[in-house]
Structure 1
Amino acid sequence: MAKRVVSVSLGSSRRDAAAEVELLGERVLLERRGTDGDFQRALCLIQELDGKVDAIGLGGIDLYLFAGGRRYAIRDALRLKEAAKKTPVVDGSGLKHTLERRAVRELASLIDWRKTKVLLPSAVDRFGLAEALDEAGARVLYGDFIFALGLPIPLYSLSFLQKLAFLLLPLFTRLPFSVLYPTGKKQEEVREDWRARYYAWADVVAGDWHYVRRHMPKDMRGKTVITNTTTEEDVAFLRERGVRRLVTTTPRLGGRSFGTNVMEAMLVALAGRELGEADYLRYIDQIGLKPQVLELEGQA
């Protein structure tokens, strides 16, 4: 019998998808179900799925934000996780921390990081990626103040960002999640505004797709985007803006890449238990998960 994994997302239901994969000799059914930003609907759906599926992924919301080895739980997300009493619930943070670090190393043959300027709209959502880029020698603009809070304060020091995170994350994680991150129909909005200059500065834009997309200017010629969850519609959006290359850190299945929460839930379903960092690294090697590179220039 196939394993069943469902991602319950606060994002738009327009992005719903399903796929079947065979991994390590087992069939796994993957499904994404968006609730259009309706927190109560997501809560009820998790309760309904509890005990009926092998693992649940949380999409459009993080359970935890990270900074320098410390983990901060988001209050709203914990309510969703605790709605399931039997089925494990994961948000993709464990896989993000390992898979995206490794992706930076894998891409070193394609991108000379020491000569590359990277815009990371949200580093606390992708702290493993932020650390890996810093270690690789890239010049990184950490855009947490700019993109999450709307404040024109670019940060270029990972250690300074870490100190600010230690100070501010205990407060921010108690706010309604919709204040920090676009949910529901807000994910479909694109607002080209004063933030466009930070895209113009960068050679590479990396991180969460909704943060990357929301303020993307029309002219992205020659740039690379590194993200995880993209549909065929998203690929067309990037091509229209002249993006040279799309790198997804999760594999493309049925014309789209699924989020790290789906992939993490899939691995938990295969293992039959929640996993640690060493487990994720072992599975990444066993399955052969590598960044998927899509050259967009010159394609119809």
Structure 2
Amino acid sequence: MKRIVSISLGSSSRDHRAEVEFCGEKLVVERIGTDGDLEKAIGLIKSLDGQVAAFGMGGIDLYLVAGEKRYVIRDAARIAKAARQTPIMDGSGLKNTLERRVVQYLAERLGVSLPEKRVLMVSAVDRFGMAEAFDAAGCRMVFGDLLFALGIPIPLRTLKGLRRIANAALPVITRLPFTMLYPTGSKQEENSPKYRAFFEEADIIAGDFLYIKKYMPPSLQGKIIVTNTVTAADLAELKRRGAAMLVTSTPEFGGRSFGTNVIEALLVSCSGKRPAELTEADYLELLDRLHFEPRVVRFG
């Protein structure tokens, strides 16, 4: 049985294993968290290299994006280089496609009227396709990249402003230790409400779930959450805080939504192609053939 393993910088408390049927064959999908230990992640990949069908690289992106420009995160490149034989995916090849589709799904399948909806994207440079899709739908945006990643109390409200700041800052930021930018290990389990007003005024809260989880206020009454990589415990917490609905860009496997790195690894394994050979059209064809749809949980 083929094995897909996601090695994550995230908390080991979120580890999960599921047997799934995909493209007509049974696969084992597994997530192994390293509690923020970069060297442990590299060591695990080296030890499993050549023994598994594909790796996912979780808890970190290989690239951050601003418009047409991509910036490589130095720590992520170190992790990716550890895989010599087995293909490794961080989800970036698929993320742009999936996360545009989830915005379309909100409007066309769930009947959410998006024009003038107030959307807080906790981070946009790791989900630029989603940011562009919400903006194109006529939403009133707040991009929280400066607020939540850097602790700078400046909300960005336009894609133009986001691109300008990102293109100036990302060449430097991507060379910093990743732990300075993003919660890893046990920090992923902490909740320290911050910039509460931006959460409270939003109709839709979108983006990376660990940023949402870390900074969300006690009440999410009536909010729509658009994110990914949630566990059963996360669902219970969102319900307790009064969220109206959760939409994840990937479907449910064994009671949780895996990250795009895992789904990309599954699709690469299914396609029979090398990752570099897969185009956006290939991903779209695979997603349609497999009837991939977002996961929707209504809490009402």
Q: What is the CA-CA distance between 1:271 and the residue it aligns to?
A: 2.1
The residue identity in structure 1 corresponding to 2:244 is R
Residue by residue over 1:163-187, the C-alpha shift from the partner in whole angstroms, topping out at 9 and shown as x without a partner, is: 2111111111111111111000010
If the length of structure 1 is used for normalisation, what is the TM-score?
0.96
Counterparts of 1:277 and 1:211 in 2: how far apart (Å)?
27
Q: CA deviation at 1:117?
A: 0.5
- For residue 230 of structure 1, give the secondary structure of its aligned residue in structure 2: coil
**Separation (CA, whole Å) in 2 of partners of 1:287 and 1:270:** 10
| Alignment of structure 1 residues 76-225 onto 2, 5 Å | 76-109=75-108, 110-193=111-194, 195-225=195-225
The code of the aligned residue for 1:221 comes to: Q
| Matching of residue 291 in structure 1 with residue 294 in structure 2 | yes
8 Å CA contact 1:3–1:270 kept in 2: the answer is no
Deviations 1:250-291 (A, max 9, x none): 111111111111111111112232123222111111111111
* TM-score normalized by the length of structure 2: 0.96
Shift of 1:81: 0.4
Task: Give the Cα separation in 1 of the matches to 2:214 and 2:188.
Answer: 7
Separation in 2, partners of 1:133, 1:119: 10
Range moving further from structure 2, 158-167 or 227-236: 158-167
1:296 to partner: Cα distance: 0.7
- Please name the residue that 1:61 is paired with: 60
How many residue pairs match? The answer is 295
Residue pair 1:203, 1:224 contacting (<8 A) in 2 also: yes
Structure 2 equivalent of residue 264 of structure 1 = 264
Deviations 1:46-99 (A, max 9, x none): 001110011100110010011111111101000000011111111111211001
| TM-align CA RMSD | 0.9
Where do 5+ consecutive residues of structure 1 fail to align?
Answer: none
Which residue in the other structure is 2:282 paired with? 279
CA distance in 2, matches of 1:276, 1:6: 23
- Describe the superposition over 1:194-252 as per-residue Cα deviations: whole angstroms up to 9, x where unpaired: x1111001000001110111111011111110111111000001011000111111111
Mapped pair 1:240 → 2:240: yes
Distance 2:104 2:291 in 1: 15
Query: Aligned-pair distance for 1:115?
Result: 2.9
Task: Give the secondary structure class of the aligned counterpart of 2:246.
Answer: strand
Unaligned runs of 5+ in 2: none
- Which range moves more in the overlay, 282-291 or 272-281? 272-281
Percent identity of the aligned residues? 54
